[in-house]
Amino acid sequence: MIAAGHPEVSVERRCELLSVPRASYYRGPASGLRSGDLELMRRIDELYMEQPWMGSRSLADHLTTSENPVGRDRIRRLMLLMGIESLAPKPGTSKRQPKHPVYPYLLRGMTIDRTNQVWATDITYIPMAKGFMYLIAIMDWATRKVLSWRLSNTLDTGFCVEALKEALFKYGAPEIFNTDQGCQFTSEKFTKVLKAWDVKISMDGKGRFKDNIFIERLWRTLKYERIYLKAYETVTELSKDLTTWFTWYNEKRKHSSLDKQTPDEAYYRGLDPLKLAA
The 10s digit of each residue's pLDDT in 55-102 is 888 888 888 888 888 889 988 998 888 888 876 654 433 334 555 688
Task: Tell me how far the alpha carbon of residue 172 is from its chain's centroid.
Answer: 21
For residue range 157-173, list pLDDT tens digits in order.
999 999 999 999 999 99
270 with 276: CB under 8 angstroms?
yes
Closest CA to 213 of 52, 18, 39, 84: 52
Give the range among 41-50, 92-101, 120-129, 246-255 with minimum mean pLDDT. 92-101
Q: Which residue has the higher pLDDT, 43 or 205?
A: 43
Q: Which pTM value belongs to this model? A: 0.78
Domain ranges of the chain: 11-82, 118-277
The beta-carbon contacts of 206-210 under 8 Å, at least 24 apart in sequence, are 206/89, 206/90, 206/93, 206/94, 206/181, 207/86, 207/87, 207/88, 207/89, 207/90, 207/93, 208/87, 208/89, 208/105, 209/52, 209/53, 209/87
**Fold (CATH) for 11-82:** Arc Repressor Mutant, subunit A (1.10.10)
CATH no. for 118-277: 3.30.420.10
Q: Which residue has the higher pLDDT, 155 or 211?
A: 155
Q: Got the DSSP string for the chain?
A: ---S--SSS-HHHHHHHTT--GGG----SPTTPPTTHHHHHHHHHHHHHH-TT--HHHHHHHH--SSS---HHHHHHHHHHHT----S--TT-----TTSPPPPP--TT----STTTEEEEEEEEEEETTEEEEEEEEEETTT--EEEEEEESS--SHHHHHHHHHHHHHH---SEEEE-S-HHHHSHHHHHHHHHTTPEEEEPPTT-GGGGHHHHHHHHHHHHHTGGG----SHHHHHHHHHHHHHHHHHT--BGGGTTB-HHHHHHHHH-HHHHH-
The confidence score (pLDDT) of residue 239 equals 96
Average pLDDT, the chain: 82
The confidence score (pLDDT) of residue 109 equals 87
Q: Which residue has the higher pLDDT, 229 or 20?
A: 229
Would you say residue 262 has pLDDT above 80?
A: yes
Local confidence band at 261 (pLDDT 50, 70, 90 cut-offs): very high
